[in-house]
């Protein structure tokens, strides 16, 4: 197997995150360099991040304020039995 040239990657992160990562890596018998190399190799092999990245901020339906409003409306409907209304037609 050929030995590949190595380079250094500098990453900024919160100190608590770094300490937690170092502790986790020590628990599983590796260092952070090995863990980050594993991450990079997984990205290249799978051609994607090895976890889902989701942003609910793009659709206001998923905003926390709307989710809270929907939960309250559901609870109100369950308590009262709800009221049936005719749909409102958009005149545009």
* Token pair for 76: 């109100």
Whether residue 90 lies inside any domain: the answer is no
- Tens-place pLDDT, residues 68-87: 999 999 998 889 887 778 88
Residue 9 in domain: no
Residue 13 has pLDDT above 90, yes or no: yes
Count of other CB atoms within 10 angstroms of residue 36: 14
| Residue 76 placed within a domain | yes
pTM, to two decimals? 0.55
Say whether both 41 and 63 belong to one domain: no
Residues 61, 41 share a domain: no
Q: How confident is the model at residue 1 (pLDDT cuts 50, 70, 90)?
A: confident
Position 92 pLDDT exceeds 70: no
State which residues form the domain around 69.
54-83
Phi-psi region of 45 (alpha: psi -120 to 50; beta: other; left: phi over 0): alpha
Q: Which residues are within 8 A (CB) of 80 and not within 5 positions of it... i.e. 6 or more apart?
A: none
State whether 42 and 61 are in the same domain. no
61 domain residue, yes or no: yes
Q: How far apart are the first and last CA of the chain?
A: 68
In the prediction, which pLDDT does 56 show? 63
Residue 38 lies in a domain: yes
Percent share of the chain, pLDDT over 90: 55
pLDDT at residue 90, rounded to an integer: 77
Q: Which residues contact 79 (CB under 8 A, 6 or more apart)?
A: none
Q: How many structural domains compose the chain?
A: 2
């Amino acid at each position: 197997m050929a030995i590949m040239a190595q380079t250094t990657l500098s990453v900024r992160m919160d100190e608590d995150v770094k300490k937690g990562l170092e502790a986790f890596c020590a628990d599983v018998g590796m260092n952070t360099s090995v863990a980050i190399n594993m991450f990079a190799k997984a990205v290249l092999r799978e051609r994607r991040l090895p976890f889902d990245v989701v942003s609910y901020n793009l659709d206001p339906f998923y905003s926390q304020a709307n989710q809270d409003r929907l939960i309250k409306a559901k609870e109100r409907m369950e308590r009262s039995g709800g009221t049936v209304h005719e749909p409102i037609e958009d005149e545009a």
